Amino acid sequence: MHRRYDRNHIPIELLRTLVAIEAEGSFTKAGTVLGLTQSAISAQVRRFEQLVGGDVFVKSGGGLSLTPLGASIAQHARRILQINDQILSRPGAQSSERLVRIGISTTLAPGLLLPIHHKCRTSGKTHQIQLHCEDSVALSRAIEGGYLDIAVLFLSQGQTLEVMEEWLEPLVWACSPNLIVSPNERIPYLSWLNNPVDDIAISALERAGRHYLVSFATPDFNARMIAAEGGLGYTLLPERAVTDRLKIARESFLPKLPPVRIGVVVGPDFDQHAARDLVRAVIEVTRPAEPLRLVVDRTTGGTLSVARSSQLAQWR
């Protein structure tokens, strides 16, 4: 009788769990990606370690990292998963419809989730569409780990993702319409922990010499929005992500902000040719009709300002 968990057979789901934990840094987050409970993930890891004869993860800096044994196995696991997924994506394998997993930044999701879903359903009729919402850091890891095919996210320096289209968008201070802060008060700031946008806000405040206090801190986007709507302080958002429950804060004591890079990226093994209509559809929905452009001072070569395309004539 065939024994599923014998020493000569490692189930593919255990390899997928190993790679997911490596990418996400915790059992809980890996479970969210894979649709499993934390206890199920823990059980899979215990079984995996029994099969390979040693620990594959160790606690590190508030999260998990691979042991030397785990790192060695993960390299092979990623190759096996790539081959497995390529086989299943061949025409006639399981279904004529190929699953395409699309990630959307939580910051952009309120305005983009439904338009992307509708556009992709009409453009990719030979594909099954699965949508995910995470912060951009998690989306980047998921793309790199092979758990997403396409993603709309904030781009940062040093990323090695394959960018299909990118643009600049204005970043603004946002707050409750009822929030009133005196110029002499410390600026109440709503911190988005472990997110690049947080670094932009803190840098802008400190560079301008503004006194501020972190009145609320969370890694959760929705909790931050609740705090902003409740009048706890100011937060940063792309201009188009400001909802009708918030206002763009234009107080003179708030420092100016640089634009942010947003883009559409694809995974390293994603078949762009087979799904080119879907990629085009995502870009069409997400890219602003009038993105920002950097205006360069031709006499010095330095950046003069940032403006929308229709405003560039005044500098030409």
C-alpha to C-alpha distance for 205 and 292, rounded to whole angstroms: 23
256-273 pLDDT, tens per residue? 999 999 999 998 777 777
CATH code of 124's domain: 3.40.190.10
Among the candidates 255, 276, 299, a domain finishes at 255
Retrieve residue 37's tokens.
């409970």
Counting the structural domains of the chain, the total is 3
User: Is residue 150 situated within a structural domain?
Assistant: yes
pLDDT at 91: 56
Among the candidates 62, 88, 114, a domain finishes at 88
Based on the domain organization, do 211 and 245 belong to the same domain?
A: yes
pLDDT at 275: 80
C-alpha to C-alpha distance for 78 and 85, rounded to whole angstroms: 10
pLDDT at 315: 27
Based on the domain organization, do 251 and 103 belong to the same domain?
A: no
Cβ pair 100, 151 in contact under 8 A = no
pLDDT at 259: 92
pLDDT at 3: 46
Based on the domain organization, do 177 and 230 belong to the same domain?
A: yes
Across the range 163-171, mean pLDDT stands at 91
Among the candidates 88, 111, 142, a domain finishes at 88
User: Is residue 56 situated within a structural domain?
Assistant: yes
Model confidence, pTM: 0.67
User: Is residue 294 situated within a structural domain?
Assistant: no
The residue with tokens 């396409």 is 150
pLDDT at 111: 87
User: Is residue 164 situated within a structural domain?
Assistant: yes
Based on the domain organization, do 218 and 247 belong to the same domain?
A: yes
The rounded mean pLDDT for the chain is 83
Say whether pLDDT at 70 is over 70. yes
Name residue 167's amino acid: W
Based on the domain organization, do 107 and 151 belong to the same domain?
A: yes
C-alpha to C-alpha distance for 89 and 95, rounded to whole angstroms: 9
CATH code of 49's domain: 1.10.10.10
User: Is residue 7 situated within a structural domain?
Assistant: no
Paired with 212 in beta bridges are 187
Based on the domain organization, do 177 and 245 belong to the same domain?
A: yes
Based on the domain organization, do 180 and 127 belong to the same domain?
A: no
Which residues lie closer than 8 Å to 115 by C-beta, 6 or more apart?
285
pLDDT at 150: 93
The answer to whether the Cα torsion of 225, 226, 229, 233 is positive or negative is negative
In 3D, which of 229, 236, 176 has the Cα closest to residue 203?
Answer: 236
Based on the domain organization, do 192 and 60 belong to the same domain?
A: no
Confidence band (pLDDT; 50, 70, 90) for 6? low
pLDDT at 148: 87
Domain span at 234: 171-255
User: Is residue 19 situated within a structural domain?
Assistant: yes
Residue % of the chain over a pLDDT of 90: 38
Which residues lie closer than 8 Å to 239 by C-beta, 6 or more apart?
169, 170, 171, 172, 248
Across the range 194-204, mean pLDDT stands at 89
C-alpha to C-alpha distance for 118 and 101, rounded to whole angstroms: 15
Cβ pair 220, 107 in contact under 8 A = no
Based on the domain organization, do 128 and 267 belong to the same domain?
A: yes
C-alpha to C-alpha distance for 59 and 114, rounded to whole angstroms: 39
Say whether pLDDT at 151 is over 90. yes
User: Is residue 120 situated within a structural domain?
Assistant: yes
Cβ pair 180, 245 in contact under 8 A = no
Based on the domain organization, do 183 and 249 belong to the same domain?
A: yes
227-249 pLDDT, tens per residue? 999 999 999 999 999 999 999 99
Say whether pLDDT at 105 is over 90. yes
Confidence band (pLDDT; 50, 70, 90) for 309? very low
Confidence band (pLDDT; 50, 70, 90) for 127? confident
Across the range 285-298, mean pLDDT stands at 66
pLDDT at 293: 62
User: Is residue 305 situated within a structural domain?
Assistant: no
Across the range 86-111, mean pLDDT stands at 75
DSSP string, 113-167: HHHHHHHHHHH-TTEEEEEEEE-HHHHHHHHHHTS-SEEEEE--TT---EEEEEE
Based on the domain organization, do 179 and 35 belong to the same domain?
A: no
Based on the domain organization, do 59 and 71 belong to the same domain?
A: yes
